[in-house]
A and B are shown apart, each in its own frame.
Chain A
Amino acid sequence: DTGVSQDPRHKITKRGQNVTFRCDPISEHNRLYWYRQTLGQGPEFLTYFQNEAQLEKSRLLSDRFSAERPKGSFSTLEIQRTEQGDSAMYLCASSLEGSERPYEQYFGPGTRLTVT
């Protein structure tokens, strides 16, 4: 399977703990995106990378959130000092700049975070 993969699929943590999620994009894709989705809403953009460079961050990405893509392949999203309001589905997507349709983003299955 060469789709976008995310790990873990589910994470339950206590308020105040740190969590880290991983995303592996489609292998040849050079752009990687993180979104967050809460119940009853569409995905909301958090940040994106082109190769290893983080090129845009949403105002939703508070200073407790950090994302990296150190070698331009997989990416990690860390949330420090989790709060109950961080409970959501965290989605990763990837796309290929330079392709015929670079605007098409392909999503992984998501990581569901529950903060208790």
Chain B
Amino acid sequence: DQQVKQNSPSLSVQEGRISILNCDYTNSMFDYFLWYKKYPAEGPTFLISISSIKDKNEDGRFTVFLNKSAKHLSLHIVPSQPGDSAVYFCAARPGAQKLVFGQGTRLTINP
């Protein structure tokens, strides 16, 4: 069963605008959520995390929002830059040490 889902395989955004990447989950026992960015032929790079007891965390251009009642989180990137073009993965920790990942969303920033 896919406990973490990213339903949009791809997203295209104009440079300078806001990028919003979405993630849904089913397991209410997840205690932390993380976003990773991945370039081709590289490993995932950690971006930002949020505890399940928070509803927002911000780090520079990146903000993660958590809606526990809807079991939904989103990553906002503003303003979007060409270097942000990558595959973004949402991940969640089910109280144990492993992470459960979504399928990823490919973000393309157009000049």
Contacts and interface: CB of A to CB of B under 8 A. Distances in A.
Interface residues of B, number: 24
B8 to A, nearest CB: 14
B111 interface: no
Contacts of B101: 42-44
Contacts of B100: 45
Given A43-B101, A45-B100, A48-B97, A110 B34 contact: no
Nearest to B36: A107
The 7 closest A-B pairs by CB, nearest first: A42-B101, A107-B43, A45-B98, A103-B32, A107-B44, A109-B43, A110-B43
A48 B96 CA distance: 11
Contacts, number: 62
Report the interface size class on chain A: 20 to 34
Given A33-B98, A48-B97, A103-B93, A108 B49 contact: no
B89 interface: yes
Nearest to A42: B101
Given A33-B97, A105-B99, A43 B49 contact: no
B63 interface: no
Interface in A1-51: 4, 6, 31, 33, 40-45, 48, 50
Interface in A61-116: 91, 93, 95, 101, 103-110, 112
